[in-house]
Structure 1
Amino acid sequence: MIHSMTGFATYADQNNEYITEVNIRTVNSRYMEINVKIPEKLKLYEMEIRNCFKDFFNRGKFEISINLTPKVASNGLEINNNLVAALTSKISEINNAYRAKDPHAAINFSALDILMYPGVIANTSNSNDSIHELVINAVKECMNKLNEARTLEGDKISVFLNGHLDSIELMRQNIINRMPEIVEWQKTKVDDFIQQHQVKVDGSLLEQEIILLCQRMDIAEELNRLSSHIEQARHILKQGGICGKRLDFLMQEFNRETNTIASKSINTEITNSAIELKVQIEQMREQVQNIE
């Protein structure tokens, strides 16, 4: 299968502390271009994110944006209730001991005092590890979705290109079928000119000139090469993989043969066929630019 370089994907995920959303948009490019838009908190992961793209894709212009939102209900703090209970119990024991000596004596501890005691409040958030795993996994999942979208688009392009290859082959066959008639028409045209203007021409010389004329307008070699290019293009599309640059080069070869056919044409019908071939090839080339 082939892959288009054009596509869009989005993916959202969350853990106990954060919600993240990843959006990736890609268009065609001759090279690998990556534009990353992420919060300052994620800057330390930017190189890893870029490497993920380089490992996953071959070329294209990518725009990736990542949003990271902390969950309001989760602040990563946890109260050690067992320690609070133990502290409260000890405070009661101390107060009871003081009151045994002096009924009015007491040590006053506020809730804030207890919270400030070491170990009462624990930061259970392993923030960096939690963010790293969440974000990198989300990026990879989004890339998978993007690749699926690019594959679907690639399938459509493949159908489009094969359809145009069928059209080019049909036009090629029509030209081949018409060539004997066109050559005969050209000979008749020369004979009519000679008779009309009563030109005296040596028979053997006339024959040589007609042969040279036929050689100049002979496009059999170009038509054969065009057939070879069609088969090669079909093979590349069937093989799939990273084939955009090979197909782009092949489009240049298609154009070269068509230009030669047009330059050799001395018949309006062949000229029009060459123009239509160029239209078909140009439409193919535009789609080939989107193939990875």
Structure 2
Amino acid sequence: MATARRVHSMTAFARTEHAYPWGTLQVEIRSVNQRYLEPHFRLPDALRELEPLLRDALRNRLARGKVECSLRFDAAEESQAPAVNTQRLAEIAEALSVVHHQVPHAGVPTTLDLLNQPGVLEAQHLDQEAIKTAAATLFEQALDELIDARAREGAKLAEMITTRLDAVSEQVATVRSLLPQILERQRTLLLERLEAAKTELDPQRLEAELVVVAQKSDVDEELDRLTAHVEEVRRQLAQKGPKGRRLDFLMQELNREANTLSSKSVVAETTRCAVELKVLIEQMREQIQNIE
């Protein structure tokens, strides 16, 4: 059975082949990212009735992806060689004996003449049930390999996303550390504008203006939501089963908070952090498109 891992990519390839006394079977499975599970099959006409069984096997093991499956069967040369129908040959020999008895001087047929008689040579009949059973088993092996490949690729994606999540957390921490400095700078700027305008405000009015400025530049709520979304992404990565759609939704939420942070930015430092956040989120989003 395939290895159980928590994050699976939708992009993978598997190929299995096995030689039997009656011929060779080959199975190839390719998968790429797709919103839903979309299987496609290319099977020999003799094995076409296997498609429902193979389709069910895919649905039981995969949740998403465009999956192309091909099955090839090459019969062994020995199985394609005609066989002599000894019973038919005996019947012809008996008939020739009667003819020879009645017409002693009749010509004797050659071996080639005998082989050309209807029914003497006939195609060998392969055991179709044995071929179908072998094909189904080989398909399961290929599917195991595909899932293992998807798991290995998924582990790499999870590692990359985790690295980006760490970077997002660092940017959030940076903005948090800047908040007291931002508020103080806003206060200084307000006082400088009042001084330049030769305007005096009573202390209560000044504090009211500072409260308004602080509210406009307050990003505590956005930072809290960014942190919560980051933790939820980490939790999803640790869960078993399909998670790509949920992660894609979380990327949208992270991007929304990053945009709000950018719109509230009043200093270059927070603008730079917001831009870096959006770059990191976009990098994660691109990779999450490949997660099952």
2:3 matched residue in structure 1: none
| 1:108 CA drift (Å) | 6.4
- Residue 139 of structure 2 aligns with an amino acid whose one-letter code is V
Q: For 2:161 and 2:11, how far apart are their aligned partners in 1?
A: 16
Report if the CA contact (8 A) 1:15-1:134 is conserved: no
Matched, 1:38 2:72: no
Q: For 2:77 and 2:159, how far apart are their aligned partners in 1?
A: 50
TM-score of the superposition, structure 1-length normalised? Answer: 0.85
Q: For 2:115 and 2:288, how far apart are their aligned partners in 1?
A: 70
Q: Helix, strand or coil: the match of 1:200?
A: coil
Q: Helix, strand or coil: the match of 2:28?
A: strand
Q: Helix, strand or coil: the match of 1:74?
A: helix
Q: Helix, strand or coil: the match of 1:73?
A: helix
Matched, 1:61 2:47: no
Deviations 1:242-279 (A, max 9, x none): 11111111111111211111111111211111111011
Matched, 1:141 2:146: no
| 1:288 CA drift (Å) | 0.9
Q: For 2:109 and 2:57, how far apart are their aligned partners in 1?
A: 54
- Residue 284 of structure 2 aligns with an amino acid whose one-letter code is M
Structure 1 alignment gaps of length 5 or more: 99-103
TM-score of the superposition, structure 2-length normalised? Answer: 0.85
1:274 matched residue in structure 2: 274
Report if the CA contact (8 A) 1:19-1:69 is conserved: yes
Structure 2 alignment gaps of length 5 or more: 1-5
Q: For 1:114 and 1:290, how far apart are their aligned partners in 2?
A: 61
Report if the CA contact (8 A) 2:80-2:124 is conserved: no
Report if the CA contact (8 A) 1:26-1:63 is conserved: yes
2:260 matched residue in structure 1: 260
| 1:77 CA drift (Å) | 6.0
- Residue 270 of structure 2 aligns with an amino acid whose one-letter code is I
Range 261-270 or range 33-42, more displaced: 33-42
Number of paired residues?
A: 280
Deviations 1:204-255 (A, max 9, x none): 1121011111011111111111111111111111223211111111111111
- Residue 208 of structure 1 aligns with an amino acid whose one-letter code is A
Matches within 5 A, 1:70-149: 70-75=75-80, 125-149=125-149
Report if the CA contact (8 A) 2:79-2:126 is conserved: no
Report if the CA contact (8 A) 2:79-2:124 is conserved: no
| 1:124 CA drift (Å) | 6.5
Q: For 1:54 and 1:18, how far apart are their aligned partners in 2?
A: 29
CA RMSD of aligned residues (A): 2.9
| 1:74 CA drift (Å) | 2.5
Distance 1:223 1:60, change over 3 A: same
| 1:80 CA drift (Å) | 8.4
- Residue 247 of structure 1 aligns with an amino acid whose one-letter code is L
Q: For 2:69 and 2:149, how far apart are their aligned partners in 1?
A: 16
- Residue 36 of structure 1 aligns with an amino acid whose one-letter code is F
Q: For 2:19 and 2:127, how far apart are their aligned partners in 1?
A: 13
Matches within 5 A, 1:44-55: 44-55=49-60
Q: Of 30, 33, 43, which residue of structure 2 is paired with 1:28?
A: 33
- Residue 28 of structure 1 aligns with an amino acid whose one-letter code is N
1:101 matched residue in structure 2: none
1:171 matched residue in structure 2: 171
Matches within 5 A, 1:167-246: 167-246=167-246
Q: For 2:52 and 2:154, how far apart are their aligned partners in 1?
A: 29
Q: Percent identity between the aligned chains?
A: 33
| 1:173 CA drift (Å) | 0.5
| 1:110 CA drift (Å) | 6.4
Q: Helix, strand or coil: the match of 2:30?
A: strand
| 1:137 CA drift (Å) | 1.6
